[in-house]
Amino acid sequence: MEGSCKGEGMTWTGSQCCVPNEWTCGAGTIGRCDNKGESWTGTMCCAQQPKQCIAGMQSSSGKDCGNNLVSWSASQRCVPQFWTCVAGTIGGCNGKDKFWTGTYCCAEKPMHCVGGLSSACQGHGSVFTGTKCCLPPPTTCIAGSMNGCDGKNQLWTGTYCCVDGAQQCYPSAASDCKGPYTSFTGSQCCVPEDFKCWYGSNCEQQGASRAGTNCCSQQM
């Protein structure tokens, strides 16, 4: 509506209100589109920065406990685009660097999240949401076992074995996971993603690491 389309960065065309491309606009009401960094177009509420809007519940005050990075748009919470929002619980999503939308738990940074348990999801910069274990990327989380996933660069989430860095992994026994940069998860042997791997034997004689039935070496 023309009467509302008057804020900084807003342009009225005669029938539409145009805003900068990096703004995030969603359904809302004029009464609830009054947080800092928000603009009301007459029909939509726009956050003046890139955001992701996900299912949630509004706080009773209409505000978000002093978190000026979060806004409310009709039936959704809008949070910074770089946050990672996944399944969780209100109790599990209580702590530093976490935000509960009412439906999802958001880690306030980019993360890689997989199934896990609170008792296991500790260390390596991990964050537990109540149902998910989230780790800073790059990390590779695959099948494994608690006893097998015990390396310094590994974390057992309670469900998966996560290995630091981008990895390529192959079914393997512990005895077939040998050589530099190999990580055994309990059922898989992982090597860095940029390694070249091929089916073969006598890997050590070729100066390569063994990962299951494959030989793998760093590409020069």
Q: How far apart are CA 146 and CA 183, in angstroms?
A: 14
Q: Which amino acid is at 68?
A: N
Q: How much is the pTM?
A: 0.81
- In angstroms, what CA-CA distances link 80 with 19, 137, 165? 18, 18, 25
pLDDT, tens digit, for every residue of 141-155? 999 999 999 999 999
28-64 burial, b at 16+ Cβ within 10 Å, e below that, comes to beeebbebeebbbbeebbbbbeebbbbebebeeeebb
Tell me what the pLDDT averaged over the chain comes to: 91
Tell me, what's the pLDDT at 62?
A: 45
pLDDT, tens digit, for every residue of 69-80? 887 766 688 899
Residue 176 Cα to chain centre, angstroms: 32
pLDDT, tens digit, for every residue of 91-116? 999 999 999 999 999 999 999 999 99
